[in-house]
Structure 1
Amino acid sequence: MKITRKSENGEHREALLKEYFLTASLIALLKRVGEEAAKAIPLRAAVLVPIKVRR
């Protein structure tokens, strides 16, 4: 299925509908990968606490 758009200058733009679906699915995939990567990172890293050394 093709989508044809005409601009005021008389130019024609044809795009396949599956191009739009491909772009949308790639965006959704990247969003999902980002969410899963955020889950994999620990919420808080271990905090180093300074210890006083006695001599």
Structure 2
Amino acid sequence: MIKQPPFLPISLQEAGDLGIEQFDIILVSGDAYVDHPSFGAGLLGRVLWDAGYTVGI
């Protein structure tokens, strides 16, 4: 399992830097990505990452 990064990856470049070739889950949102519990994509991404999935936004 890959340790949780400071920010979830939003591009293939960032995924490659983390050693991820393919995401398990990709979250698509019309909102800006803000890594804060009051924003759904960031919250869901962190919970899914803790569950062992690789997540891209």
What is the TM-score of this pair, normalised by structure 1? 0.26
Q: RCO (CA 8 Å, sep 6+): is it higher in 1 or 2?
A: 2
Higher helix share goes to which structure? 1
* Max Rg structure: 1
Higher strand share goes to which structure? 1
What is the TM-score of this pair, normalised by structure 2? 0.25
